[in-house]
Amino acid sequence: MTNRSWVEIPVQGGTMSAFLAGDGAPGLVMLQEIFGVNGAMQDKALRFARLGFTVLVPDLFWRLEPRVALGYSDEDRKRGFDLFSCFDFKAGVTDIAAAARWLEKEHPSVGVLGFCLGGKLAVAASAAYSFKAVASLYGVKLEADKPRLRAIDVPMQVHVGDKDAHVPLQAIEEIKEALKDRPNAEVFVYAGAGHGFFNAARTEVYAPQAAALAEERIARMFNQSLGGSRRKAAA
């Protein structure tokens, strides 16, 4: 069975919980959707842990409500959007950087990937911590911060479906334009896929073929960009 546990990370203003999965060499910080570190996010972490990564999923809503784990009912969706509307984006970026520093104690080369809200935060947090690679899956409003997109000088991937209701085609074109001069940045658009296509818990939007292809591309980038951990190096 893949190793999994909850850990506590000291951050500015308190202590933040995080879900930890795997014992592989490269370290990944994985960033949540608006539904918190729920079962679906933990499953995603385990999915990448089985590929050989150690994955840390910080509880980014902890300042509002610790250990939020919502489902996908209308009521839970409303609660998620309410939490999102109160979320302190700047503090969240600081918390992500603290999570990365915690992970780098065992895994000195750390990558970041995120979904939806987490997809946007993965890009934003690159200003607060020197991640070795960045992956954003259907990150919302990436086009609103083109200077930050252009400033990322490590390998980066953006994954989005062409039927995404929250990332319109115009936004995708703006992202492509912002990154066109970046040889190590890639934008992958999946035909017929909508928002949340990587989330197997949401059967109405899950696109298994797109998810499998995205996973393969992301894993390849991280394996190429991240070195082994101190633990692996000493083995």
Q: Cite the beta strand spans of 40-149 per DSSP E.
A: 54-58, 110-115, 134-137
Q: Residue 195 catalytic? A: yes
The token pair at 235 is 């083995």
DSSP H or E segment with residue 222: helix 208-225
The two most distant CA atoms of the chain are separated, in Å, by 50
Check the CA dihedral 166-64-199-220 and report its sign.
positive
DSSP H or E segment with residue 20: strand 14-21
Q: Is 8 left (phi over 0), alpha (psi -120 to 50) or beta?
A: beta
**Amino acid found at 159:** H
Q: Are strands 185-190 and 110-115 parallel, antiparallel or unpaired?
A: unpaired
Options 43, 164, 166, 181, the catalytic residue: 164
Half-sphere exposure of 6 (CA within 13 A, CB side): 8
Q: How far is 222 from 100, CA to CA, in rounded Å?
A: 15
The token pair at 211 is 């998810």
Phi, psi of 191 (to 5 degrees): -65, 130
Options 59, 107, 159, 195, the catalytic residue: 195
Question: Hey, which residues are catalytic here?
Answer: 164, 195
